[in-house]
Amino acid sequence: MSTISQEDLFEKLDKRLLDIYGEGELRSMCRIIHEDLIAKPNFDLEALPEIIQRINAEEPIQYIIGEADFYSLKFKVDPSVLIPRQETEELVALFRSKEKKGAKLDVLDIGTGSGCIPITLKYSHPRINFTAIDISEDALSIAQFNAQRHQMKIDFQKLDFADSDARATMPSFDVVISNPPYIGIEESEKLSNNVIKYEPHVALFSPKPDPNFFYKAIYDFCNQHLNAGGRVYLELNEFNAAEVLSIFTTNLYEEAEIVKDIHQKERMLFAKKKG
């Protein structure tokens, strides 16, 4: 059994972290790491210096402990996948509020990462047939692990959605949902170190100079591959929300609206294709 306490761990950390996180958040991080790693009966104290080094280097604690919470579920994470966030939980909640629980739907998740979106939605909508794609084999391995952990059947596929020829090979769907890469490269300086240094850039940044590239690609895909009456759920960059809305405000859609998150930021889009 480990003999180091949460207070011991806090005292061993570089105090410059107080300026980055604040004392409350830093103590909360120590509590989580202590509970999820250090206090475990099989914890090896010889691993402690490396853990402290990783905290001091501003590595996200989810990567340090290897797990992240999402919708009260545990998901394995590592630097090949984005850490699931509250904004994506709200995207899942939006889907749940609009789609009937007993509906049998074919749904595509674009850029699945850890698989948190389809796996979580399968709990509330068990009849959904989910296809989840990602460009990263490492991410898909993590997603597959999480699906097996939660005993959910998801069809995971490797596909570069930025490649128009590749996405043209896909079938049609009733619903498309995505938290796509939407940060412009010029915005990278606004990101904190624990994001820019550790989280996968392929999942953060638009692959083209246009930060709305993926939204335009999704729109083009949906023109051919979203069934009549189909719905689209997208997580947004709050600073580009109006531009994304304009992409979907066409005569192909009977509805297209921005949905605000709990902080009243424009962080989601819902669109419904004409029937």
Whole-model pTM: value is: 0.93
Q: pLDDT (tens digit, 9 = 90+) per residue, 207-262?
A: 888 889 999 999 999 999 999 999 999 999 998 999 999 999 999 999 999 999 99
Q: pLDDT (tens digit, 9 = 90+) per residue, 66-81?
A: 999 999 999 999 999 9
86 DSSP assignment: H
- Between 142 and 194, name the one with better pLDDT: 142
Q: Which two tokens stand for residue 137?
A: 């084999």
Q: Which domains does the chain have, with CATH numbers?
A: 6-57 (no CATH), 79-273 (3.40.50.150)
Q: pLDDT (tens digit, 9 = 90+) per residue, 184-222?
A: 766 766 677 778 888 888 888 778 888 899 999 999 999
33 exposed, middle or buried (CB, 10 Å; 0-12, 13-18, 19+)?
A: buried
Interatomic CA distance for residues 64 and 97, integer angstroms: 34
